[in-house]
Structure 1
Amino acid sequence: MDDRLVDLETRIAFQEQGIQDLEAVILRQQKEIEALTRRLEAAEQRLRAVTPSNLADLSEETPPPHY
């Protein structure tokens, strides 16, 4: 009985350590995702500023010939 208890305590200790390790990985990945999201948004803004749109604004559009 005593050996089984020690075995269970050992397993729980390893599981707790594994959970802590996984939490650290998840936290690091979340920070990386947030940083990459910010970089992507900044890149999209720069791209929009540099690349002119081929679509004219609705106020600049001339009506079609059948009007």
Structure 2
Amino acid sequence: MTASNPGPDEARIEALEAACAHQDRVIAELSDAIAAQWARIDALTREVLRLRDEVQVQGERSAPDRPPPHY
């Protein structure tokens, strides 16, 4: 076959290479998205734990040792 008229095998190989390149790009994009989501999940988890600890400390500080005077 000549360079200007590729054979069916060459056309199939080019189509497969294009599909492979597209899949590689999509996989890289998905990997980046998942990494960003995990980073966000980790940050939110740390924030929830911090807030839980803060609420517990506030609850311990404001817990009365005796009942209020209206009892």
Q: TM-score, normalised by structure 2?
A: 0.70
Q: Which runs of 5+ in 2 are unaligned?
A: 1-8, 64-71
- Give the ranges of 4+ consecutive aligned residues of structure 1 lying more than 3 Å apart after TM superposition: none
Among all aligned residue pairs of Structure 1 and Structure 2, give the percentage whose two residues are the same amino acid. 26
Q: Which fold has the larger relative contact order, with Cα–Cα distance below 8 Å and residues 6 or more apart in sequence?
A: 2
Structure with the higher helix share, 1 or 2: 2
Q: TM-score, normalised by structure 1?
A: 0.74
| Number of positions where the alignment pairs a residue of Structure 1 with one of Structure 2 | 53
User: Bigger radius of gyration, 1 or 2?
Assistant: 2
Q: Which runs of 5+ in 1 are unaligned?
A: 55-67
Report the aligned-residue RMSD: 1.2
